Amino acid sequence: MKKLMIMGLLSLSAATLTAQNAYYTREVSDKKLVKEARRWVKSGAWRKGFDKARPHKSVNAVDFYEQYNRNTEQWEAAFRWLSENDLRNIPKGKYPIANTNLVASVEDSENNLLEKRNSESHYHHIDFQWVVSGTEGFGIIDHVSSTPKDLYKPDVIHYNYDREKARFYESNPEEFFIFFPADWHIAKVKTRRADQKIRVVVIKLDYVDAK
């Protein structure tokens, strides 16, 4: 049911926004809510001691605000864990976050050519990604011109997309990315840098519907 609702909303949004030729994240028409969410993000009320990085400009402020407030204990635990660990130097691996169902993955990896990287989105989880060492390339693809290229399972779907309409960003350790269900993204894309090696921390948080 949840999957059908999200797909229905995304399809409706795509239909109404086709005239704009492209859109990349959830659109919110409530200006008061958008202003409130942006003020909240800027205030740092979500940090819980985590002062090592800020949200990248691509992070949807309303989704961040709403999801944090619908699932506060989980988000607080994630940021607290991030603040308490030396993530540049601890061994790579998977780390359960105490008193939650969350697992933080500390990954040593490398970027690769765009054509070798899959686009994806998730219905039940949110991707928090912080590159603590190196520079990772990220892509965010347009909804209007993109189409599913396989079936949704177990919590991922991949897309055919127009490369010319995709937006690409290079990370730095002072910013983190958050990909919500409406953020169709590509990770570990080769950058213009000489060194493609990265260390990234990934936490998959639960996506919570409005009640």
Q: Mind giving me the DSSP string for 142-166? A: -SSS-EE-S---SS-B-EE--GGG-
pLDDT for the residue 16? 41
**Torsion angle, alpha carbons of 40, 166, 156, 152, to 10:** 120
Q: Is position 149 within any domain?
A: yes
Q: Is position 30 within any domain?
A: yes
Q: 128-167, pLDDT tens digit by residue?
A: 999 999 999 999 999 999 999 999 999 999 999 999 999 9
Residue 4 binned pLDDT confidence (cut-offs 50, 70, 90): very low
Q: Is position 211 within any domain?
A: no
User: Do residues 130 and 178 lie in contact, with contact meaning Cβ atoms separated by under 8 Å?
Assistant: no
Q: 161-201, pLDDT tens digit by residue?
A: 999 999 999 999 999 999 999 999 999 999 999 999 999 99
Query: Average pLDDT for residues 93-116, to the nearest whole number?
Result: 98
Query: Average pLDDT for residues 102-129, to the nearest whole number?
Result: 98
Q: Is position 120 within any domain?
A: yes
Query: Average pLDDT for residues 43-65, to the nearest whole number?
Result: 98
Helices (H), 61-160: 61-70, 72-84
Q: How many CB atoms lie within 10 A of CB 139?
A: 19
SS3 123: coil
SS3 120: strand
Residues 70, 67: Cα–Cα separation, whole Å:
5
pLDDT for the residue 18? 42
pLDDT for the residue 20? 60
Number of domain units in the chain: 1
Find the CATH number of the domain harbouring 61: 2.60.120.370
Full residue range of the structural domain in which residue 38 is found? 2-206
Above 90 in pLDDT, residue 9? no
User: Do residues 106 and 92 lie in contact, with contact meaning Cβ atoms separated by under 8 Å?
Assistant: yes
Q: What radius of gyration, in Å, describes the C-alpha atoms of the chain?
A: 17
pTM of the model: 0.90
Burial class (CB in 10 A: 0-12, 13-18, 19+), 28: middle
pLDDT for the residue 21? 84
Which has the higher per-residue pLDDT, 56 or 6? 56
User: Do residues 150 and 157 lie in contact, with contact meaning Cβ atoms separated by under 8 Å?
Assistant: yes
User: Do residues 185 and 36 lie in contact, with contact meaning Cβ atoms separated by under 8 Å?
Assistant: no
Q: Is position 73 within any domain?
A: yes
User: Do residues 114 and 194 lie in contact, with contact meaning Cβ atoms separated by under 8 Å?
Assistant: no
Mean pLDDT over the full length of the chain = 92
pLDDT for the residue 211? 83
